Amino acid sequence: MQDVARLAGVSISSVSNYLADYPYMKPITKQHIQEAIDALGYVTNERARSLRSGRTGLISLSIPSLTQAYFAELAEEIIAAARRRGYGILIESTGFSRDWELASVAAMARRATDGLIMSPLAMEDSDIPRLRGEFPLVLLGERLFDVPAPHVLVHNVEVGRALTEHLIAAGCETIAFLGGVLESNHPSAEVLRTKGYVQALEAAGRPVRPELVRTLVGEATSRAGVELVERMVAEGVKPDGVVCYSDLVAFGVVRQLREMRVRIPDDVRVVSIDNLDEAQYTMPSLTSVELGRRQIAELAVDSILKQVKEGRAPAGELYADYEIMYRESSPAVGS
């Protein structure tokens, strides 16, 4: 920068001003500086800039695992949203471990990044005090509500309700929820989505039959979807409409139903949530809810950037819009 200043015949601070788009500057001066920059191939050293300015241009993203397609696709959107704003994303994969989640919070004190977007899945209420602090923070999902920071949320209840309403409108008589949880006071995605399912049934004056709500045993994989269908059918439960907790589960559900020669959507309609890339490519393609990942990404990044300027934002809820993407497994019905 010294060299640029010398070559341009100006002071070092004019160069700095130029780089910062300082408005009051003679065009001729600008031009000289630009020429010197080009001649020397100068690029600013981000390390020095960040020490002095207090900003790194980086945001930490702490998510459970990139191996889970939903998180990978969300990360992709967050990277894109950050880049549009001139920011970079440092990814920390926490593997559903409380220790790693806490580690990524602790790392904020080291000021290697300007803020943290995190999906706290393993942290406990007792860890909430550690999330206090001045650093910009955004939480993804409905856990840990008492943290003094904004939460970016998905309309889980409404999504469950909308999908169920769609199946009702399509004429389904017996609607199952695979991967749901009926009784619980923990506000997990499963519970909330199931709540929406129940609301829709009740609004339609239908009974909620517990044998139609099948809870996942382990992780939400397609194998789990296969098993859920096997067990349900073995018990003689035969729905003509199925809401799946997630696309991964739905992939297994669809596969197993076809295996059993059930026609989709003719015999059974299948709908799901996540709208993974792969949902377009299955046979049949899968009707699924786009949870607004792009919007989630933008809300989260924008909130961080705002907090960088104005300090930690208070607790609050930012909701993303969802959309049912109708595909072959359950086409839209004309209203």
Among positions 28-47, residues that touch DNA (CB under 7 A) are 28-29, 44-45
Q: Which residues pair with 103 in a beta bridge?
A: none
- R_g of the chain, CA atoms, integer Å: 25
Total residue count of the chain as it appears in this document: 335
Beta-sheet strands, E only, within 18-174: 58-63, 88-93, 116-118, 137-140, 150-154
The binder of 1, among DNA, a copy of itself, none, by C-beta within 5 to 8 A per type, is: DNA
Rounded CA separation 165/73 (Å): 27
- Residue of 22, 44, 238, 263 interacting with a copy of itself (CB under 8 A): 44
Among positions 40-79, residues that touch DNA (CB under 7 A) are 44-45, 48-49, 51-53
Side-chain half-sphere exposure of 146, counting CA atoms within 13 A: 8
Binding map of a copy of itself across residues 115-154, x = CB under 8 A, - = no contact:
----------------------------------------
| Max CA separation in the chain (angstroms) | 86
Using rule CB under 7 A, residue 285 touches DNA: no
Rounded CA separation 261/269 (Å): 14
Rounded CA separation 229/209 (Å): 16
108 close to 116: Cβ distance less than 8 angstroms: yes
Using rule CB under 7 A, residue 25 touches DNA: yes
The binder of 31, among DNA, a copy of itself, none, by C-beta within 5 to 8 A per type, is: none
The binder of 66, among DNA, a copy of itself, none, by C-beta within 5 to 8 A per type, is: a copy of itself
Compare residues 34 and 280 and give the one whose CB is closer to a copy of itself.
280
Compare residues 55 and 206 and give the one whose CB is closer to a copy of itself.
55
Helix (H) or strand (E) holding 284: none
> Under rule CB under 7 A, how many of the chain's residues touch DNA?
25
Rounded CA separation 219/90 (Å): 26
Least separation in angstroms between residue 18's CB and a copy of itself is 17
Compare residues 253 and 320 and give the one whose CB is closer to a copy of itself.
253
Q: Which residues bind DNA (CB under 7 A)?
A: 1-2, 9-14, 16-17, 19-20, 22, 24-26, 28-29, 44-45, 48-49, 51-53
